[in-house]
Amino acid sequence: MRYTIFGESHGPAIGVVIQDLPSGIALDMEEIAREMARRAPGNSPLATARREKDVPEILSGLFEGQTTGTPLCAMIANTDQHSGDYDDVRRYPRPGHADYTGFMRYQGCADHRGGGHFSGRLTAPLVFAGAVAKQILAAEGITIGAHIRSIGGIEDLPFANREKPLTPSLLRELNRMAFPVLWKERGEEMQAEILKAKSEGDSVGGTIECAVTGLPAGMGAPDLGENVEGIVSRHVFAVPGVKAIGFGDGFGFACLRGSQANDSLRMRMGEVVSDTNHSGGINGGITNGLPLVFEVAMRPTASIAREQQTVDLENWTNATITVKGRHDPCIVQRAVPVIEAAAALAVCEVMDI
């Protein structure tokens, strides 16, 4: 399976073409719509005020409810653009965003409106592709879910906890939560932190922890291009705003001793098991049969309502910009289904689907 995302934030539409899909998969369109709604901005003060229904229109690759095996193309209309808000950005790139790098890469030809192809809006088709991938994986007994692990330094419980152990049903429960956390009170504190940053004309970042259960041991390889950490990272870094990834204990490994970090192997009912999962389900680039667990760091939204220093790309002089437009004060909660989608597409690659 390969996918290509197309479109710009303020163009007529965005979408995705998925190639090399197996034929004969009956797609549950209601389930796909539910996944899309999880990412859509909705009616929350925690997200951008842009209103988009994000209903995908299937243009090809689906016949009588089943995939044909030829390219599956889904298109999502853009309906709520305020392009005038972005006139300044063409000349004065937003610090932290991709306006300057996009200008250099595409010699000033990129569509700057609403962040163009770099907009978080382009993650809607990614969620569509991920929803298709999730349905294929569910038939193989594989479940994917994620939660907000932290926002602005306020931490949720990790998946590695005694109170709410990591199971497929916990992941499905998280899938249905608007603000998915394991520790409700901490979730409320996080939401208050987002609103505080917003009221100060600022933004806040955080981390998302994602898990995949049901993966068999022995998938992947140690080599470049085939190792599971590399494949997952490549898919996850295609999500705008992701700045770091760690598997299992991730950066925490650096502070542990071997005796603390190793996952002891045991035989239980004829199977190799382990009571801990410090390695996040991967050793030597190969799955070990434990859940695949990784955590990503998302940057605080670059577009903040404060005057910032930048440059003038017409006169090549110093300048300032006060960003206009409607922005997410925090992208973490909206990125949860997007990270799950990237994980689903990565797992399909690992499993050669």
Ligand X SMILES: Cc1cc2nc3c(=O)[nH]c(=O)nc-3n(C[C@H](O)[C@H](O)[C@H](O)COP(=O)(O)O)c2cc1C
Kindly tell me which of 131 and 239 has the beta carbon lying closer to ligand X.
Answer: 239
Closest CA to 31 of 169, 160, 133: 133
Minimum distance, C-beta of residue 284 to ligand X, in the bound complex (Å) = 29
Among 175, 191, 279, 303, binds ligand X (CB under 6 A): 303
Please tell me whether residue 102 binds ligand X under the rule CB under 6 A.
no
Which residues lie below 8 Å from residue 151, measured CB to CB, with a gap of 6+?
Answer: 190, 193, 194, 204, 205, 206, 330, 332, 333
Please tell me whether residue 335 binds ligand X under the rule CB under 6 A.
yes
Kindly tell me which of 175 and 213 has the beta carbon lying closer to ligand X.
Answer: 175
The interface region with ligand X, picked from 24-32, 55-63, 204-212, 331-339 by CB under 6 A, is: 331-339
Please tell me whether residue 331 binds ligand X under the rule CB under 6 A.
yes
- What span, in angstroms and rounded, lies between the C-alpha atoms of 305 and 292? 38
Q: Kindly report the length of the chain.
A: 353
**DSSP letter, residue 214:** -
56: left (phi over 0), alpha (psi -120 to 50) or beta: beta
Q: With contact defined as beta carbons under 8 Å apart, do 117 and 111 qualify?
A: yes
Among 299, 300, 341, 343, binds ligand X (CB under 6 A): 299
Q: With contact defined as beta carbons under 8 Å apart, do 335 and 130 qualify?
A: no
Please tell me whether residue 175 binds ligand X under the rule CB under 6 A.
no
Task: Determine the residue with CB nearest ligand X.
Answer: 120
Q: Identity (one letter) of the amino acid at 244?
A: A
Instruction: Compute how many residues bind ligand X; rule: CB under 6 A.
Output: 22
The interface region with ligand X, picked from 24-32, 105-113, 176-184, 240-248 by CB under 6 A, is: 240-248
Please tell me whether residue 338 binds ligand X under the rule CB under 6 A.
yes
Please tell me whether residue 301 binds ligand X under the rule CB under 6 A.
yes
Among 334, 343, 344, 350, binds ligand X (CB under 6 A): 334
